[in-house]
């Protein structure tokens, strides 16, 4: 069994001994770690480790202050850090900031150990990248649960990096194939590279952000519940719910994107998967229900304007719902509260037209042209986060159903998304004019 290494940073050695005991089961024997001949006497004063007769689950290292901890990170490469906030010299908050600012250490989960309960302190820790909290006095079951939770996230991140390296190797291998296939292989290689960059730089962060939000709020509720008013508790639960919905939407989009790509790779008839002949639904009802729900969740019900004409489409209901959800979410996310979001639909000449217009920040032509899976657009406007995956899915579904997606946008004035879909299967793609 592979041991997970944990670096404990605390100026009080007794606190390390407490953690050492809490993480040791009844049959473990705690002894001093034997330092190899290649390690200097200087490291002896900084580090203590835990071993047992049988390989234990954790290997602990100890640093008595912030500077010592920063000095040994490259030597021991811990899987997780338990960091005390109140320390002389470099305090825990500054140590956390420096670790999260370094790309090579950024992925190491940090659990802040503190007796402090001030919301401002907890908020400051979250802002600089802390992953979780645990309060003193420490409970053994809670400590192990939090450590195991963070280690699972860390191991998933490691596996993702391994996958990224494999994708890079595959790209290099593809480039070595004969010149006769060079043009088609170059296109495939570029697609893999974009996917690799998106996975490495955006996907992990986007998944972790709402997850950390939920964990942070639950931690605050656990610590502060008795001192919080019912209104504060309700607000905290609402924030946690929003983060959970955000995570759920992102995961659904990722799974459907991978599903479509796998079908395309296997040369399956994806068109048949998107179409339905048995179930009829009202496009007007779907658009109205989803738009109102998304606006209500964003607390912008008064900004929503609907002008809808009903139509019976050949597209499966779940995929039409995905299109509407992605476009309405995009309009609400990148426009200010108090500005209109206009959703309209109509039927003309056997074609269904859906238009969603906002008065937000807009997009440049370069941004429109670069829409792709795992593309991250600017957060500068409103702090909103999100991959370009929603628009990519809309584009794929619409194209597979012989429709068109047209994006018109002016920076700082707004964006209009127009969808055109055939109502009859017999309708030819060339009949749909821009």
* Strand 304-307 versus strand 132-135 pairing type: unpaired
**Can you say how many angstroms the Cα of residue 257 is from the centroid of all Cα atoms in its chain?**
15
pTM score over 0.75: no
CATH number, span 271-431: 3.30.565.10
Highest-confidence range of 21-35, 259-273, 305-319, by mean pLDDT? 305-319
What does the alpha-carbon distance between residue 256 and residue 194 come to, in Å, rounded to a whole number? 19
Q: Is the domain covering 4-138 a CATH 3.10.420.10 domain?
A: no
Taking the domains of the chain in order of start, what are their residue ranges? 4-138, 159-263, 271-431
CA dist., res. 225 & res. 238, Å (int) = 15
Q: What is the pLDDT of residue 287?
A: 95
What is the distance of C-alpha 27 from the center of its chain?
Answer: 39
Percent of the chain with pLDDT over 70: 71
Higher pLDDT, 253 or 286: 286
As a whole number of angstroms, the distance between CA 434 and CA 432 comes to 7
- pLDDT score, position 98: 94
Q: Is 290 buried (19+), middle (13-18) or exposed (0-12) by CB count in 10 A?
A: buried
Please, are residues 338 and 396 in contact by the beta-carbon 8 Å criterion? Answer: no
Residue 395: predicted pLDDT: 83
Say whether pLDDT at 37 is over 50.
no
Enumerate residues 6+ apart whose C-beta is below 8 A from 431. 422
Decide: 265 and 402 in contact? Cβ < 8 Å: no
């Amino acid at each position: 069994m592979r041991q997970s290494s944990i670096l404990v940073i605390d100026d009080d050695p007794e606190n390390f001994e407490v953690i050492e005991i809490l993480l040791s089961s009844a049959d473990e024997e705690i002894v001093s770690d034997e330092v190899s001949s290649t390690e200097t006497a200087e490291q002896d004063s900084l580090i203590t480790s835990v071993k047992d007769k049988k390989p234990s689950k954790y290997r602990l290292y100890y640093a008595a202050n912030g500077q010592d901890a920063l000095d040994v990170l490259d030597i021991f490469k811990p899987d997780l850090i338990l960091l005390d906030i109140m320390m002389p010299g470099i305090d825990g908050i500054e140590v956390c900031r420096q670790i999260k600012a370094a790309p090579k250490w950024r992925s190491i989960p940090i659990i802040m150990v503190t007796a402090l309960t001030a919301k401002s302190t907890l908020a400051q820790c979250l802002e600089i990248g802390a992953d979780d909290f645990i309060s003193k006095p420490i409970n053994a079951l809670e400590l192990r649960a939090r450590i195991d939770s963070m280690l699972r996230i860390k191991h998933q991140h490691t596996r993702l990096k391994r996958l990224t390296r494999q994708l890079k190797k595959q790209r290099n291998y593809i480039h070595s194939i004969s010149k006769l296939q060079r043009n088609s292989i170059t296109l495939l290689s570029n697609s893999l590279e974009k996917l690799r960059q998106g996975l490495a730089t955006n996907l992990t962060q986007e998944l972790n952000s709402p997850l950390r939000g939920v964990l942070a709020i639950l931690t605050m509720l656990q610590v502060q519940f008795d001192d919080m008013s019912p209104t504060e508790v309700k607000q905290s639960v609402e924030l946690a719910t929003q983060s959970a919905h955000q995570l759920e939407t992102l995961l659904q989009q990722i799974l459907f994107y991978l599903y479509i790509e796998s079908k395309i790779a296997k040369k399956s008839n994806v068109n048949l998967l998107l179409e339905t002949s048995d179930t009829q639904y009202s496009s007007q009802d779907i658009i109205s229900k989803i738009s109102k729900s998304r606006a209500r969740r964003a607390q912008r019900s008064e900004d929503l304007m609907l002008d809808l004409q009903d139509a019976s489409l050949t597209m499966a209901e779940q995929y039409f719902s995905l299109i509407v959800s992605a476009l309405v979410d995009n309009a609400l996310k990148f426009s200010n509260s108090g500005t209109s979001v206009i959703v309209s639909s109509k039927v003309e000449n056997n074609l269904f037209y859906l238009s969603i217009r906002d008065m937000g920040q807009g997009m440049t032509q370069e941004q429109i042209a670069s829409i792709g899976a795992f593309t991250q657009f600017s957060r500068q406007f409103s702090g909103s986060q999100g991959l370009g995956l929603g628009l990519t899915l809309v584009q794929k579904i619409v194209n597979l159903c012989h429709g068109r997606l047209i994006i018109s946008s002016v920076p700082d004035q707004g964006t209009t998304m127009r969808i055109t879909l055939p109502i009859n299967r017999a309708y030819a793609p060339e009949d749909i004019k821009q």
